[in-house]
Amino acid sequence: MRALRWDGVQLQFVGAQHIPTPAPGEAFIRPLLVGVSDDDVDVAARPSGTAGDAITLGQEFVGVVESVNGADKDTLVGRRVVGSPIVVCGACDLCVAGLSAHCRARTVIGLHERDGCFADVLTLPTRNLVVVPDSVDDDHAVFALPVAAAIQAVRQMTIEGRPFVTVLGDSTIGLLTAQLMSQLNASVRLLGEHASNLAHCEKWGVKHREANEVGRRADQDIVVDCTGTAQGLQLALQLIRPRGTILLKRPTADPVELAPAVYNEITIVGSAVGPVGEAVTMLAQGKIDIVSLVDRRMNLDDGERLIKAAAAPGALKIVAAVR
Ligand SMILES: [Zn+2]
């Protein structure tokens, strides 16, 4: 089968990757449509310097369950599904405490010790899967993970008294987060650097500005940094009010001067994967516009070019058909 692989140094699109066998409790899934995530781009942008065991990239997919090893056959075989990327043990102290997203033995598809969805086939535990209702087409379903990540950011905020919220970064996740937050009782603005991306905010009623045009008045109650850059976090530290909260949606590999966080008593909260089932429900209810966020339609055969396209400045979501 075809697969887009990463070995720590280089991307390789291979045509004869071995076909995986589902372990007990796992489903054998044929992806229909996949999306390139920020993680896919970040992984390929930060080579380790030494080639190691390669894994197949890709976390965002909608696919059809072809078979199941174990129970759940009747409910899943032949159904369209999306999936949570984190595979957990269910037995460690964190899993038992209800924090299974942080399982000590976790693997993550396309990222950490588990093959992802940029391939003709992938396997995932059935408990990771969410069945997609017929009313949600593939184009919408493939956005389940980024919508879930935006829901997670909203969940982690405390909305009291109509707070001032700034979202940094006009990428897919920034635009989704701003869109969702504007549906709450908050004054939301998005700061970015690509006029064509910022223009999408008009139809959602979200205020928007070019990041270099705004004053650094330290008056925002909440800043959500979706940039994944040191400059982004530095700007967040200038915009946030004393004792305000910064939500970090994307890691940066570069050092950041954190003194303002100490002196201004800022709370910095990491925000990662969210509830995939809730995301599918929200997509089914038509509560979120994702159509504007599709930047390019490609095919799995485009291989390495998928990651390049997603890494281009100002790129929104790159989706790729697998068949
Ligand atoms: Zn665990």
Predicted local distance difference test score (pLDDT) of residue 307: 98
| Distance between Cα 130 and ligand 1 center (Å) | 20
Q: CA 306, CA 289: separation in Å to the nearest integer? A: 23
The residue among 162, 169, 156 whose CA lies nearest residue 239 is 169
Give the confidence band of 167 by pLDDT, cuts at 50, 70, 90: very high
Q: Tell me the C-alpha to C-alpha distance, in Å, between residue 297 and each of 54, 102, 303, 309, 311.
A: 26, 33, 13, 10, 15
| Distance between Cα 71 and ligand 1 center (Å) | 21
Mean pLDDT of the chain: 95
pLDDT tens digits along 100-126: 999 999 999 999 999 999 999 999 999
| Distance between Cα 57 and ligand 1 center (Å) | 23
| Distance between Cα 127 and ligand 1 center (Å) | 14
| Distance between Cα 94 and ligand 1 center (Å) | 6
The predicted model scores a pTM of 0.95
| Distance between Cα 86 and ligand 1 center (Å) | 11
Give the confidence band of 158 by pLDDT, cuts at 50, 70, 90: confident
| Distance between Cα 107 and ligand 1 center (Å) | 10
Predicted local distance difference test score (pLDDT) of residue 36: 98
| Distance between Cα 99 and ligand 1 center (Å) | 8
| Distance between Cα 60 and ligand 1 center (Å) | 22
Strand partners, 61: 34
- C-beta separation of 247 from 224 below 8 A: yes
* Strand pairing category for 187-192 and 107-109: unpaired
- C-beta separation of 94 from 101 below 8 A: no
